[in-house]
Chain A
Amino acid sequence: MEQFIQLLIGGIAQGMIYALVAFGYNITFSTSRSFNFSHGNFLMLGGVVGLILYINNQIPFLAMVLAVVLVGLLMGLILYKTSIEPSLKSKSNYAWILATLAFGIILKNMVEVFWSTDDFRFDSPLGNAPIRVMDVGVLPQEILIIVVALCIVVAVESFKKYTIFGKAIVAVSEDKNTASLMGINQQFVILFSFLLSSVIACLAGILVAPITMVGATMGTVLGVKAYAVSIIGGLESGYGVLLGGLIIGLSEAFTARYISTGYKDAPGFLILILVLLFLPSGIFGKTVIKKV
């Protein structure tokens, strides 16, 4: 039983990391019908910058977080200018996929060349001692992950719902042209969504760092799984990522424990395929009748 609860919490924490990264896909997909296929590499960059500043250079934790946010903003801007803006202009179906993939390849290779190809430990500022409640040990970092992920998702969704700029984002997601006619600067909204999504990915990098390792390859698989999470929940839904994250995170944790670690990714991907067979736009996605 204790083990079951421990697995449950570990699975939820992992799921919330996926949800947070997936949330970044949703934010930009709704405004621009595109997202960063190398989102996982942005997460990696966040982790690496965090490691360099906090562990190697002993900079205060909050200052490091601030620096990571700035890095996220900067990378989001560069990504937008070099990959997204030209792709959206090119009218090609897949330009954005390849452009962001190319951007990720460059980013990852630069980290490998100018920093390191090794993996490093990142000790949690909250310590590595599990908190024990009735024989169930929970890492403080896991709790932090769950809390921060939920806060970010709720904050962004409320921002979209209750502020005027947030409503502008929703308007652009619903109908770009009408939003433009209402005086909303569509380009700026898209740029903003990419900045926000990049910052969240970089923050997710420092969040996940203590439970994985920090290295140039840490983001690739995470990015792909978060993509699956995002689709399961529905690319155009906000809170859908939380459910998607739970599904993938928990299925992974339990398969790894009760079946085999080698197969831990399989159930998640099977669920993904099954969900899409019956709900082509994900669990919370909207299906629109196409007008002819």
Chain B
Amino acid sequence: MKTKKIIYGILLLIPLCLPQVIDNQYYIQGVFCRIIIYAMLVASLDLIVGYIGDVSIGHAGFFAIGAYTVGILTATQDLNSDSTMSWFPHLSFFSALPIGILLTAIAGFVLGFPALRLSGPYLAVVTIAYGMLIYTFINEQEAFTNGTKGISLEPLQVFGIKCSGSNFLYVVYPFLVLVMFVVRNLTKSYWGRAFEAIKYSEVAASMCGISKSYYKIWAFVISAGIAGLAGGFFSQLDAYVAPNTFSYNFSVEFLIALIVGGVQSILGNILGASVMVIFPDLFSNFNDYRLIIFGLSLLMVLFFMPKGLAGFVNLVKKRFATKQDSHHAEALSKKAAEVVLFDYTNAKENHTAVQITDLTMRFGGLVAVNELNMSIKKGTVHGLIGPNGSGKSTTVNLLTGIYAPAGGAVSLFGQSIAGQSTYKRAKLGIARTFQNLQLFSDMTALQNVMVGMHNSFQANLAAVCFNLPNAQREEKRAEARAFAWLQFVGLQESAFTEAKNLSYGQARLLEIARALASNPALLLLDEPAAGLTAGEIEKINVLIRKIKDSGVSVLLIEHHMDMVMAVSDEVTVLDFGKKIAEGTPAQIQNNPAVITAYLGTHETSFH
């Protein structure tokens, strides 16, 4: 481990030697520094496109805000004597840079709001509009920006030392390392997992206690901030900024660079930026055909290398990864042995777990749940059955706050939870599984469970970004605990398998593990046995009993009657949104109303 770190450290220093080796200012500043600055911008775009899963075609706008803020604040009258600019604050570069970052972050904050409600092409067009508005503003506010003619800047000097030309590398490169370090830490932490969870399933993420608004807006703020930083440096790259650089096409090019390099990969970000800078040079002999070649290569990459150039490198890496994984699993299982799974911070004294009073839900004219009254006793398994469309899943969605009820009240351990949003209910101790699996498909089983533990993470954003010891410790503890949850449901062998590659039965178990990982007082199982074989169902039965014995209250929705009758302490039967019966499994089996309404009048297979 130590030697690996030293090797990485030395590798990181190599680029700083370049000016000694290559004595050509064009290559160092024009090519190499440009790649560095573009790589930062691509990394910022990756946070949105790769992690949050939204397409942004407006990052040139953020870049422009950073570049222009630094440009305006540092410009001198001498170089812009015939300009329309009237305001020259004459700040130094490094005092202007934080202001640029701050302004860009604010712009990102503003863009975050539409991003909460919009996705896909709807959000993409907003990012375009946003970029275009910034572009128009820069073009037209001639008193500040000198309009289309742009702003000329003095060559960069820091404490009287010349930092332009090849020396510029010494200024920007450390910032690239810093940005990549922060992005890497962030994306590998519970923050990054929250971003990705939102991408794959907003509902499941909120059921893990993740506030979509909070994380999405932060993602836009951080991404914009990094773009602003890159923009600030860009103003010094040519010591000149002009609006034409920051057009719609520029945003498109960065999006292309990101995809060609490969999303969710620092290496991919750097490769993408390099391609973007070097490509025009490489094909300078075919200058006319350059864009044709570019377009064709893009199509090739898209369809033959969906993970981009970095995908190739990762394929090679994966060869070695399987061995690493097994070591890792071994270490984790040792630590997991010391984990106490069910701890009782969430146990509430002597209260009914859930009290539902006159709960009603309408979809248009359809009354899906009609004045339902029901209570789940603490530490019991409560079955909820009924024919298709009788309102079972709607009840679960009402309990978890996914739907807002038309009337009625729900209280959890004596506390009303009316009006609470889903992620807050998760914090109060409700967890659920989904009838239609809602796993975070590209994340491993272990990571899925760690998303479930979201609320247990305490480290703040700064600690996460700089990977401070408390964040590291917390992450390691969480990993061991997540592994223990996988052991609990019997999935430890698949800890490093991506959720999308699990078998159907395993996926169902993983859903349960993820739900339990949030340390719930109430677990809602929405058809956990749907599509499973008899053997697999038996496993789930055993699990449910274990969960109950640990003191967690369970609401079980199922169509497998054998299962419901075997594990439930009490059963409620719904039909057309109304409760038609309630009682012990034995009472339900003999209830004539249930038999006619739900089971039919002919012989059925109750045992």
- Which residues of A line the B interface, CB within 8 A? 29, 35, 82-83, 86-87, 90, 92-95, 97-99, 101-106, 108-110, 112-113, 220-221, 224, 227-228, 231, 235, 260, 262-263, 265-266, 269-270, 272-273, 276-277, 280-282, 289-290, 292
A106 engages B122 (CB within 8 Å):
no
How distant is the Cα of A57 from the Cα of B71 in the complex, in angstroms?
51
Query: Which residue of chain B lies nearest to A113 when distances are taken between CB atoms in the complex?
Result: B288
Query: Scoring B residues 216 to 240 as 1 if CB is less than 8 Å from chain A, else 0, what string do you get?
Result: 0000000000000000000000000
B299 engages A82 (CB within 8 Å):
yes
If A98-B256, A99-B302, A227-B125 touch, does A93 touch B291 (CB 8 Å cutoff)?
Answer: no
B291 engages A109 (CB within 8 Å):
yes
B292 engages A93 (CB within 8 Å):
no
How distant is the Cα of A102 from the Cα of B133 in the complex, in angstroms?
25
Minimum CB–CB distance from B369 to chain A (whole Å) comes to 14
Minimum CB–CB distance from A253 to chain B (whole Å) comes to 16
If A98-B255, A289-B363 touch, does A93 touch B125 (CB 8 Å cutoff)?
Answer: no
- Which residues of B line the A interface, CB within 8 A? 49, 53, 55, 113-114, 117-118, 120-122, 124-126, 128-130, 132-133, 136-137, 139-140, 203, 248-249, 252, 255-256, 259, 288-292, 294-296, 298-299, 302-303, 306, 363, 393, 397, 402, 434-436, 438
B302 engages A29 (CB within 8 Å):
no
B259 engages A98 (CB within 8 Å):
yes
How distant is the Cα of A235 from the Cα of B256 in the complex, in angstroms?
24
Number of A-B contacts (CB under 8 A): 134
A263 engages B434 (CB within 8 Å):
no
Minimum CB–CB distance from B192 to chain A (whole Å) comes to 18
A110 engages B117 (CB within 8 Å):
no
How distant is the Cα of A265 from the Cα of B303 in the complex, in angstroms?
35
Query: Which residue of chain B lies nearest to A112 when distances are taken between CB atoms in the complex?
Result: B288
If A106-B292, A265-B136, A266-B136 touch, does A98 touch B125 (CB 8 Å cutoff)?
Answer: no
User: In the complex, what residues of B have CB within 8 A of residue A227's CB?
Assistant: 121, 125, 128
Closest 6 CB pairs of A and B: A106-B295, A109-B291, A269-B129, A105-B295, A102-B298, A102-B295
How distant is the Cα of A202 from the Cα of B259 in the complex, in angstroms?
29
Please tell me which one of the listed residues A98, A224, A272, A289 contacts residue B248 in the complex, with CB atoms under 8 A apart.
A224
A272 engages B295 (CB within 8 Å):
no
B252 engages A101 (CB within 8 Å):
yes
How distant is the Cα of A273 from the Cα of B299 in the complex, in angstroms?
31
A292 engages B434 (CB within 8 Å):
yes
B291 engages A108 (CB within 8 Å):
yes
A-B contacts, 16 listed (Cβ < 8 Å): A29-B121, A97-B55, A97-B255, A105-B292, A106-B291, A106-B295, A108-B291, A113-B289, A262-B139, A266-B137, A270-B133, A272-B129, A273-B129, A273-B130, A277-B114, A292-B438
User: In the complex, what residues of A have CB within 8 A of residue B397's CB?
Assistant: 292
User: In the complex, what residues of B have CB within 8 A of residue A82's CB?
Assistant: 299
Query: Which residue of chain B lies nearest to A282 when distances are taken between CB atoms in the complex?
Result: B122
Minimum CB–CB distance from A163 to chain B (whole Å) comes to 28
Q: Is the interface of B mostly helix, strand, loop or mixed?
A: helix
User: In the complex, what residues of B have CB within 8 A of residue A103's CB?
Assistant: 295, 299
B299 engages A262 (CB within 8 Å):
no
Minimum CB–CB distance from A251 to chain B (whole Å) comes to 13
User: In the complex, what residues of B have CB within 8 A of residue A231's CB?
Assistant: 121-122, 125
How distant is the Cα of A229 from the Cα of B11 in the complex, in angstroms?
50
B302 engages A105 (CB within 8 Å):
no
B291 engages A235 (CB within 8 Å):
no
How distant is the Cα of A101 from the Cα of B393 in the complex, in angstroms?
42
A109 engages B289 (CB within 8 Å):
yes
If A113-B288, A224-B128 touch, does A106 touch B121 (CB 8 Å cutoff)?
Answer: no
User: In the complex, what residues of B have CB within 8 A of residue A260's CB?
Assistant: 140
A263 engages B292 (CB within 8 Å):
no
A263 engages B128 (CB within 8 Å):
no
How distant is the Cα of A276 from the Cα of B126 in the complex, in angstroms?
8
Q: Is the interface of A mostly helix, strand, loop or mixed?
A: helix
User: In the complex, what residues of B have CB within 8 A of residue A280's CB?
Assistant: 117-118, 122
Minimum CB–CB distance from B304 to chain A (whole Å) comes to 10
User: In the complex, what residues of B have CB within 8 A of residue A86's CB?
Assistant: 302-303
User: In the complex, what residues of A have CB within 8 A of residue B133's CB?
Assistant: 266, 269-270
User: In the complex, what residues of A have CB within 8 A of residue B363's CB?
Assistant: 289
If A113-B288, A262-B140, A292-B397 touch, does A105 touch B294 (CB 8 Å cutoff)?
Answer: yes
Other than A276-B122, A292-B436, give 17 A-B pairs with Cβ distance below 8 A: A87-B303, A95-B302, A101-B298, A102-B302, A105-B295, A106-B291, A110-B292, A224-B128, A224-B132, A227-B125, A266-B133, A273-B129, A273-B130, A276-B118, A280-B122, A292-B203, A292-B435
Query: Which residue of chain B lies nearest to A105 when distances are taken between CB atoms in the complex?
Result: B295
User: In the complex, what residues of B have CB within 8 A of residue A99's CB?
Assistant: 298-299, 302-303
A273 engages B302 (CB within 8 Å):
no
How distant is the Cα of A29 from the Cα of B206 in the complex, in angstroms?
29
How distant is the Cα of A270 from the Cα of B137 in the complex, in angstroms?
13
Minimum CB–CB distance from A190 to chain B (whole Å) comes to 16
If A106-B292, A272-B126 touch, does A93 touch B53 (CB 8 Å cutoff)?
Answer: yes
Minimum CB–CB distance from B14 to chain A (whole Å) comes to 32
User: In the complex, what residues of B have CB within 8 A of residue A90's CB?
Assistant: 302-303, 306
Minimum CB–CB distance from A126 to chain B (whole Å) comes to 33
Minimum CB–CB distance from B6 to chain A (whole Å) comes to 38
How distant is the Cα of A163 from the Cα of B299 in the complex, in angstroms?
37
User: In the complex, what residues of B have CB within 8 A of residue A269's CB?
Assistant: 129-130, 132-133
A109 engages B295 (CB within 8 Å):
yes
A263 engages B306 (CB within 8 Å):
no
User: In the complex, what residues of B have CB within 8 A of residue A102's CB?
Assistant: 256, 295-296, 298-299, 302
B120 engages A106 (CB within 8 Å):
no
Minimum CB–CB distance from A260 to chain B (whole Å) comes to 7
User: In the complex, what residues of A have CB within 8 A of residue B128's CB?
Assistant: 224, 227-228
User: In the complex, what residues of A have CB within 8 A of residue B249's CB?
Assistant: 220
User: In the complex, what residues of A have CB within 8 A of residue B136's CB?
Assistant: 262-263, 265-266
Minimum CB–CB distance from B388 to chain A (whole Å) comes to 13
B125 engages A292 (CB within 8 Å):
no
Please tell me which one of the listed residues A109, A262, A273, A289 contacts residue B126 in the complex, with CB atoms under 8 A apart.
A273
Query: Which residue of chain A lies nearest to B248 when distances are taken between CB atoms in the complex?
Result: A224
User: In the complex, what residues of B have CB within 8 A of residue A220's CB?
Assistant: 248-249
B130 engages A101 (CB within 8 Å):
no
Minimum CB–CB distance from B158 to chain A (whole Å) comes to 36
How distant is the Cα of A267 from the Cα of B299 in the complex, in angstroms?
35
User: In the complex, what residues of A have CB within 8 A of residue B55's CB?
Assistant: 93-94, 97
B298 engages A35 (CB within 8 Å):
no
How distant is the Cα of A92 from the Cα of B305 in the complex, in angstroms?
12
Most chain A beta-carbon neighbours within 10 Å: one of B132, B203, B306: B132
Minimum CB–CB distance from B117 to chain A (whole Å) comes to 5
User: In the complex, what residues of B have CB within 8 A of residue A95's CB?
Assistant: 302-303, 306
A93 engages B120 (CB within 8 Å):
yes
Minimum CB–CB distance from A223 to chain B (whole Å) comes to 10
Minimum CB–CB distance from B138 to chain A (whole Å) comes to 11
Minimum CB–CB distance from A101 to chain B (whole Å) comes to 6
Query: Which residue of chain A lies nearest to B260 when distances are taken between CB atoms in the complex?
Result: A98
How distant is the Cα of A290 from the Cα of B206 in the complex, in angstroms?
14
How distant is the Cα of A173 from the Cα of B435 in the complex, in angstroms?
25
Minimum CB–CB distance from A279 to chain B (whole Å) comes to 10
How distant is the Cα of A262 from the Cα of B302 in the complex, in angstroms?
37
